[in-house]
Amino acid sequence: MPARRPMSRHSSQSQSLPALQIPKVPVGRHVQGLRALRPSVHNYDGHRGVGLVSSNVDAAAAPATRPAGIVEAPPPPPQFQQQLLRPPTCQQGYQHPQQHYQQQHQPRHQLQQQLQHQPRKPDPDEDASQRQLAASVHQAFRAASAYCDVRLAQLPGTRHCSLAAEGRDLRPDGLEEHRLGMHQALSHLLVPCIEQTVEFAKRVPGFAKFSQDDQLTLIKSSFMEIWLMQLSRCFAACQAGRLLLPGGLLVSQQELDFVWSPTLLTSMRDYLRALDSLQLTEREVALLCAVVLTRPDRPGLAGAEDVSAVHGRLLSSLGQELESPGDHQLTESDVARRKSRQPLGLGQLHCAMRQASSLSLSVHHCMHWYRENWHRSHLPPLYSEMFDIQKNNGAISQQSHQQQVQQPPLPAASQPSYHHL
């Protein structure tokens, strides 16, 4: 039998310590009150949340006497019970976690829409300044444009104007000469439109402060766009493919197709129809033309910052006119347009400006052939300068000279120059 190991000093001392006596605490009301506050996953309304459950301890079985040192727990206050019984969704200021996530992670386009539709704080001084600017531009449009309501109402009527010379036979070997002659006739008809655009630009507030070169650049790059925007007010006369020129002259679609191109004429008609469907008033068209005239992204501008400042003021005035028109007197046609149109915004007009710019580039592309054949026709100096066609000072080919001898020359037109601005 193996010998037992001697016990250590510590173990001998631990055996000498008296055992700890833990009294048994009977279950009573104080235990039942504590268990009554135990949370549960269901409340009395059937919703998931914090609620109260009853204890399985029978209060009647609790002994009447309690050990010393045990105090009965007080009942919870009524407000605390009501707070526990109330569902979380009923608490004031409660927000579901999913709703909080959706608000913090909204799509980007919704935030942009909220920023765009923020109400603008009215500034009396700024509004008055923009109203005055809009009135000045409108007055300039009425004084210079042949497509304002007053001048259109004064037209005695419209008449067809042919670009082809009378009594001239169209031969297959003379198509190029025939096209050059029709283009020359159209150039004389467009000279009044160029003059009116120059006059309108000179009257736009702030335009005269630009340098001479910047004025020429802005007018040359925006003429076709401004002319098309004005022409949209006469879309009823252009429905048959004709274009209305100053003086009530109508040019047929077939002749314009031959001078320019059928694709370009189709795009022009679609643009005029789309712009006419916006039902712009005369003042809005005037402001739109001024905005197009002062675009600061035109190539070749030396004072782009000054142009941008004027462009921004005109654009703000146009936006204010679309949002809340002033107290100016509207014509009958403008009143009818406002009643029949849908709400407009600057976004739609920006799209119209981009389409007009694309059409202007297409027209200049068609002019490339006439630039190469500049010596075969005589064009007005103002028209030649507008479309960068070299001027023919009399050195023409023998064939073109013989054709001019056989036919009477085209009527001379006034030839103002940009340098007289």
Domain around 39: 28-81
Chain segment 239-292, per-residue pLDDT in tens = 666 788 888 889 988 899 999 999 999 999 999 999 988 999 999 999 999 999
Of residues 275, 321, 335, 346, the one with CA closest to residue 135:
321
159 in a structural domain: yes
Element (H, E) at 36: helix 29-36
- DSSP string of 297-353, one letter each residue: T-TT-S-HHHHHHHHHHHHHHHHHHHHS--SPPPPHHHHHHHHHSPP--HHHHHHHH
The residue from 81, 107, 126 where one domain ends is 81
User: Strands, E, within 96-174: which ranges?
Assistant: 159-160
Query: Which range, 1-5, 43-47, 81-85, 143-147, has the best average confidence (pLDDT)?
Result: 143-147
Q: Using CA atoms, how far apart are residues 325 and 344, in angstroms rounded to an integer? A: 12
Chain segment 375-388, per-residue pLDDT in tens = 999 999 999 999 99
Identify the CATH number of the domain in which residue 336 sits. Answer: 1.10.565.10
Does residue 279 share a domain with residue 160? yes
Q: Write the DSSP symbol of residue 120.
A: P
Strands 243-245 and 249-251: antiparallel
For residue 143, count other CB atoms closer than 10 A to its CB.
12
Chain segment 151-177, per-residue pLDDT in tens = 888 888 888 888 887 655 556 667 888
Does residue 76 share a domain with residue 141? no
122 in a structural domain: no
Q: Using CA atoms, how far apart are residues 305 and 154, in angstroms rounded to an integer? A: 41
Does residue 43 share a domain with residue 186? no
Does residue 399 share a domain with residue 278? yes
187 in a structural domain: yes
Does residue 366 share a domain with residue 236? yes
Count how many domains the chain has: 2
SS3 397: coil
Q: Say if residues 267 and 359 touch (Cβ distance below 8 Å).
A: yes
- DSSP string of 52-94, one letter each residue: ----SS-GGGS-S---TT--PPPPPPHHHHHHHHS-GGGSTT-
22 in a structural domain: no
Chain segment 52-64, per-residue pLDDT in tens = 444 444 444 445 5
Q: Using CA atoms, how far apart are residues 11 and 18, in angstroms rounded to an integer? A: 14
